[in-house]
Amino acid sequence: MRSYITPILLVFGFLLLSVICQIFRKNEKESAQAFTKLISFILLLVPVVFPLILKSKSYLILFSVLLILITIFTQNVINRGKPNLCRTFSKKLLILNFMLLVSVSIVESYLYEFVSLSLIILVLAELCDSMAFSLFPGRLTNITGESKNYISFSLHFIFTLLILYLFESNYVSDYSLLYLFPLVLMSALLITMMDLLISGLVRFVILPIFTFFLLMILRSSDLGILLSDFAIGFGLAGLIVILSYKVRFLTLSGALATFLLAGFIFALGSWQWSVPILTFFVLSSILSKVRKKVNSEIEEFFEKTGVRDRWQVFANGGLGGILVVFNYLQPDNLFYYMYIASLAAVCADTWATEIGTFKKTKTYNILNFKPITQGMSGGISFPGTFGSFLGAAVIALSGILWIESDLLSYFIIVIFAGIGGSFFDSLLGATVQAQFYCKSCSKITEKERHCNQPSSFHKGFSWLNNDIVNLMAGIAGIFLIIFYYYFT
């Protein structure tokens, strides 16, 4: 417990400073909300300290369930005409308590300290936001397409660095301290970058999970070797990102997301994991550029262009980032096959779109095979199906050097998983993906804005956009590999 005292005191001290900043704001209405924020922040800290106090999993699960029930009751009361601020914090508290419940249900007791530290860093990010927007309301950056306070991220980085170093220095030898600071420096930077890239309530899910696994990597590795791997991996990722951004393969947010994702894959997976993701990214980006020059009109149907943003990067490669971490912590060849299958699925889907719309061709609805307008969600064509096959085959070929089993079986199952994931993408596009109607040109499109005006909702689920569909295509490829692995 003693090793946690300093991080907790830092968070509580920062909490007090944040509330003081709220109190002394010039806007009296916002100053009056300081007490509400104080109570909300204290409530956020309750699930953070539980794993430090209660070492029994059964007690932790019981308290987590009670906290969730209390939060639901509180949220229902707050929703009855109370300020939006209260509703927002009640939702965050609910998610935080649910995260605690899930964490203590699936991790071993010796990992509870990682759960607590991850949640502490999450709450710290909230405190930094509060203080920065109070003191410097105009210091905004728009890297991700959303206005965020860069002072907040600077504070988050500094305090995350301090907490990580004070915490981790208790568990390493004097010799390893030489490697600890640069690793903690890089870890704090990566956590802050992830916080910059995500927003809203999803931040309360992604950020602690990201921090948790980063802490596990630090604790389970030889720090000298890990520092070398991180330096090479993220150095190579930085070089690729700079070149890709200059040639307009990536937006600025996409560049930051690619740096994070590729850095982990390069550092933890070496060439075995790096070659397939590079193959997909480079060839698909070139193909998108070429197709856009030949048939740019088709762009009016697509939600996203060939210049990848952060969500496209995470949708196409996020599964690979998760799998490489799992494989690093618990090596298993199945993780690599799952990785290849997910990439084959997203590459097959990407190439099906690019090659299928390279020139005007007959396109059919995947559900009833009736002709539809080329470019509409759920459409398939003969050139597109051939492109799907090529995309899956290229990914299968990119990983062939590290396959020890029967190569013919490997090619068949990876191509099958890739094409299967691509068709699943089309099936979702024809049924549940969000589609919009443009009143100006009378076209059905994936875009919420078309012809420089808002489009009206047409069908599907409004939250199920193209990025989520691409992610689900990759998951479908993984499930096909798992099914083959366990049931054949």
Residue 411 in tokens: 């090619």
What is the 3-class SS of 173-241, one letter each residue?
CCCCHHHHHHHHHHHHHHHHHHHHHCCHHHHHHHHHHHHHHHHHHHHHCCHHHHHHHHHHHHHHHHHHH
Which segments of 295-332 does DSSP mark as H helices, in order? 310-329
CB-CB neighbours of 125 under 10 Å: 25
Residue type, 27: N
Supply the DSSP symbol for 297: G
Q: Which residues contact 95 (CB under 8 A, 6 or more apart)?
A: 201, 204, 205
Residue 38: its pLDDT value, please?
A: 61
Binning the chain into helix, strand and coil, the percentages to the nearest 5 are: 75, 5, 20
Residue 1: its pLDDT value, please?
A: 44
Residues 418/337, Cβ–Cβ less than 8 Å: no
- The DSSP line for 54-93 is ---HHHHHHHHHHHHHHHHHHHHHHTTT--HHHHHHHHHH
Per-residue pLDDT 10s for the chain (488 aa) are 445 555 555 556 655 665 565 555 545 455 445 555 666 666 667 777 777 777 677 777 887 787 777 777 665 555 554 555 555 666 777 777 777 778 877 888 778 888 888 888 888 887 777 777 766 766 666 666 666 777 888 888 988 998 888 888 877 776 677 888 999 999 999 999 998 888 777 888 899 999 999 999 998 888 999 999 999 999 999 999 999 999 888 988 899 999 999 999 999 999 999 999 999 999 998 988 888 787 766 666 666 666 788 888 999 999 999 999 999 999 999 999 999 999 999 999 999 988 988 888 888 889 888 888 877 788 888 989 999 999 999 999 999 999 887 889 999 999 999 999 999 999 998 888 888 887 777 777 777 777 777 788 778 887 788 888 999 999 999 999 998 888 77
Residue 140: its pLDDT value, please?
A: 66
Supply the DSSP symbol for 172: S
Q: Which residues contact 37 (CB under 8 A, 6 or more apart)?
A: 18, 19, 22, 85, 89, 130
Burial zone of 26 (CB within 10 Å; 0-12 exposed, 13-18 middle, 19+ buried): exposed
Residues 140/150, Cβ–Cβ less than 8 Å: yes
d(CA 291, CA 288): 5
Residue 2: its pLDDT value, please?
A: 46
Residue 48 in tokens: 């953070």
